[in-house]
Structure 1
Amino acid sequence: MAQGRGSAVALGLALLCLLIHSEIADAATYVVGDNGGWTFNVVGWPSGKRFRPGDVLVFRYKPSVHNVVAVSAADYRGCSAPRGSRIFTSGNDRITLARGTNYFICSFAGHCQAGMKIAVTAV
């Protein structure tokens, strides 16, 4: 009888692993701004796209003149990057989307205000 329960647990774990793997395999990768990359006037780039949790955004830009900062909704609206914000500076950043709305700005002076920001909702 104990062997039967062990088999059921093993089968359950195998199915769980399969589900996790299939969700990861379904994740899509998007280059922010498409061929233009992460630059000004990308605020509308997410429009018409369907994002899911686990999808990856690739931000391509020249790191000497731009960056990517993950911010809250309020900081997105105010174009501010508070102390402790997660700042990306590689010029080829890969960021995995969490469920809900994910907000990103460039914190270089005036860039966010000029439209270098996006809000991406993953459902």
Structure 2
Amino acid sequence: MAGTYTCTAKYSNTEELKASKEIKIIEEIKWKDAPEEQYPKLGETFRVRCEAEANPSASINWERNGVSLTTKDRYIVKANGLIIKDVRESDDGLYKCTAVVISTGEIQIRNIRVIYDL
């Protein structure tokens, strides 16, 4: 139903009046693929899955132990998750995936427990 809608009318049967309005649809954040428990294997590369759907689109931010995670060293932040290279026992723990839609101010948080698998 989103789109541009136009209303037209004639004033005194001679002057045409016209007004247009664009309608946007806003969809709340929904978790598409973000299991609350995930099991990487030691030594492998693993993607901690966290995908959200929203309109307008949500951006994803990551934290672990209150520290923001960015792409560096063994971590790669992607739109569909957090890549951990060479999984170690120390990667075990609670990760916070935050979906944010800046234009609407909506925020959703998903806590994901990463438990290494031998």
Q: Note whether the superposition's TM-score is higher than 0.5.
A: no
Structure with greater helix percent:
1
More strand by share: 2
TM-score range, shorter chain: 0.3 to 0.5
Larger Rg: 2
Q: TM-score, normalised by structure 1?
A: 0.38
